[in-house]
Homo-oligomer: A and B are copies of this chain.
Amino acid sequence: MAQNGKLAADLVQKLERDIVTGILKPGDKLDERSLSERFGVSRTPVREALQTLAGSGLVATMPRRGTIVASITVAELIEMFEVMAELEAMCARLAARRMPRADIENLIALSEECSALQGHADADAYYEANVRFHEAIYAGCRNSFLERQTKNVRNRLAPYRRLQLHRPGRVKKSNNEHAEILSAISNGEADVAGKLMQQHVAVQGEALNDLLAIVPRGYLEPLAS
């Protein structure tokens, strides 16, 4: 997609990984000089990388004020989850119609992987398995543009989605929903799969309040923006 030079491309990947995995948190400052020293390159590729990341929305740069890991407002968080739910629903609908049998078998395996990690102490392990399950469905929609678009929004929401796991009972409920979605896809029930996925991903009602309650300070912009 956004192919820059080799150095810049490397930086994009590294920074992206650090943001998505939570090493870099929303609001963290990304100083050009320190980054260039840390990676042993000049400021130019660093700027190109930040530019690319700004394009995909993972970082925000204010003119003359520097670049930070994107932190969003509560309103944007709600908006993005609303869109995310609908994008994933579309993936599920299309997957129900298009996913080959072999890939569905694989999806079953990924679902079982999630179940196996249900009570696991390491929340990250479940998170990763969960990501693989969802990505398998993205791939199943057989629309690589939709797949990229969906992954992009998911990346931007990653810091916030990660928080949801820590809510007690969430993992078990999530697994049950996976099973239902899987069944709908397997039976080719497109609309059912879409609706279930939409509800699975959407954050509404109490769940939204719970999420907002555990978002650390700095993850969200103050109201005065």
Contact = CB atoms under 8 A, between A and B. Distances in A.
A63 interface: yes
A148 to B, nearest CB: 9
Contact of A3 (B61, B82, B90, B144): B61
A49 to B, nearest CB: 9
A145 B63 contact: no
Contact of A83 (B47, B54, B146): B146
Interface in A60-105: 60-63, 76, 79-80, 82-83, 86, 90
Contact of A2 (B61, B82, B144): B61
Contacts of A1: 54, 57, 60
B63 A3 contact: yes
B146 A79 contact: yes
B145 A3 contact: no
A188 to B, nearest CB: 18
Contacts of A6: 63
Contact of A55 (B52, B83, B90): B52
Contacts of A153: 149
A32 interface: no
A113 interface: no
Interface residues of A, number: 32
A208 B86 CA distance: 25
Given A83-B149, A86-B90, A90-B86, A55 B61 contact: no
Q: Binding site of A, secondary structure by majority: helix, strand, loop or mixed?
A: helix
Contacts of A90: 83, 86
Contacts of A145: 76, 79-80, 82-83
Nearest to A8: B51
A105 to B, nearest CB: 25
A118 B82 CA distance: 36
A52 to B, nearest CB: 6
Contact of A79 (B2, B5, B62, B143): B143
5 contacts: A3-B60, A54-B55, A76-B144, A80-B145, A83-B149
3 pairs of A and B residues whose beta carbons are closest in the complex: A55-B55, A79-B145, A2-B54
